[in-house]
Amino acid sequence: MRMRRLGLGPVVNAGLPNKRLKLTGRLSEEAYVCAPASWYRSVGCLRPPALAPQLKRDPLGGWNDVVFGGTHMRSSILFTLLGIALVSCGPDETVALRVDETVALRVQVVIPANVPTIGTGQLYLSLWSYDPGIADVGATLVDVGRTSFAHALGERDVLQMRVGGHITGGWRSYITVEGCQATPQGMVAVLWDGLQETGTPSSVEMQYRTTTSSCQGATR
Q: What would the pLDDT profile of 17-27 be if each residue is shown by its tens digit?
A: 555 555 555 54
Q: For 101-210, which CATH class?
A: mainly beta
The CATH 2.60.40 domain(s) of the chain lie at 101-210
Q: What would the pLDDT profile of 77-92 be if each residue is shown by its tens digit?
A: 555 655 555 545 555 5
Tell me what the mean pLDDT of segment 119-128 comes to: 95
Is the model more confident about 94 or about 177? 177
DSSP string, the chain: -PPPPB-SSPPPPPSSTT-EEEE-SSS-SSEEEEPP--GGGGGT--SPPPSSPPPPPPPTT---EEEETTEEEEHHHHHHHHHHHHHH--GGGPPPP---EEEEEEEEEEE-TTSPPEEEEEEEEEEEEE-TT-SSS--EEEEEEEEEEEE-TT--EEEEEEEEEEE-TT-EEEEEEEEEEEETTEEEEEEE-S--S----SEEE-EEEEEEEE-SGGG-
Tell me what the mean pLDDT of segment 131-150 comes to: 93
Identify the band that residue 14 occupies on the pLDDT scale cut at 50, 70 and 90: very low
